[in-house]
Structure 1
Amino acid sequence: MSVGHEVPEVLDRREGPYGEVVLRRHGDLLQIIANGCFLMDTSDGRSERRLVDAALAALPAPAVRPAPHVLIGGLGVGFSLARAAANSRWGRITVIEREPAVIDWHRTGPLAALTREALADPRTRIVEADLVDYVNETSDTFDALCLDIDNGPGWTVTEGNEGLYAPTGLAGCARVLRPGGVLAVWSARPSPEFEETLCNAGFQQVRTEEIPVARGVPDVVHLGVRPG
């Protein structure tokens, strides 16, 4: 893919419920910017796919837990959703996205090519909601939570997200996880402090998987299992 020294082209700019969101094209890449902060682009997606794969691998075998229900926090450019929909083992796939613009870009806009099949999958349900509010209010339960709404536990997009990675927020995640369910959290950099917080919040089998990137520190997926 090529970005060179081209000036990014703004494809859409909207004032959403949490500030400005922008979709840009930069060479071959599509990029999402929120309140001036780069969130993600379509350059790779290895770590976003691994987020879903690692959660599934940490669940019991199909004979013990058939057709698990996964909640994906953040639609983004769609890598995680597309990965989940490509795997027949997942039962239901619920995606929480708080920005109406991002949902529109996938349904009828430039990102549709990445997720058209996944959105048409009968297992998929898109919910327009703030993830923190949803986790605190929903009566649904899940076998896996795959969270990718920030650049990491210590690098949140909005201040309101900080509580999600604190003990009270993790207690909310545990509440909606079925016993033995998996919490997987994407981060742009490792966080030993978050590992410790997961352990202190009662999660077991806590570990961090590193995913190499072209430059800089690796992306990671933090994993923890709710006790059975």
Structure 2
Amino acid sequence: MQETSLYPHVSVDCAIFGFDGEQLKILLITRTGESEEGRYSDMKLPGSVIYESENLDDAAYRVLYELTGIKNIYLQQFRSFGSPDRTKHPRDIVWLENAIHMKIGRIITVAYVALIKINQKLRGFADGYEAHWCNLSEIGQLAFDHNEVVEGALNYVRKKIEEDPTGMYELLPKKFTEAELRNLHEVIFGEKVDIRNFHKKFISLNYIIPLEEKQQNVAHRAARYYRFDKIIYNKSHR
């Protein structure tokens, strides 16, 4: 006999990466609730169940704005997560049912990813949530299967950057140093690069424009700033 259950629900989750010059960051929101063990507080990706009348992209932008205040960024859908046991902890279902005021059975999420400059202001509007930039290397155990979603998003970003490195410059400030770009490469791919070889490649890139400006008020030798020229890049990669 075929198993009967509640109809599956669809949600969206957003993996938003930022970079502070040294660490790769992930945008998370605080989740609080009550369980049999007592009151708890943990972290999750910005996400929620979609409305019946909205499409997936609209839902992703709405949820991200409501929970973090971020808008006007480019979200890219990269994968769906639909394992029957993706809500491994019973409190996940209880929390979600209390949050959206409806009974939930199986839930399938469509995941989105974005690379943004970390200077965007966070100001969530939904009650009971607080958005944080967290070091990716220190996030610990997240709610639902969001560790798996984050890992999938990072693997997707790595693959896209290998195909098209311009995504790196979405994470950097408009003017950046060679060391910042090297650090970003290392934290994204999780491996050290040879400084000498990296420098040779860096200075050969015609779309990296050196500026007259250098760092100020630093304890070490002031490094030159550079900028990424997307127009030159596009012309040279036609």
User: TM-score by structure 2 length?
Assistant: 0.25
User: TM-score by structure 1 length?
Assistant: 0.26
* Structure of larger gyration radius: 2
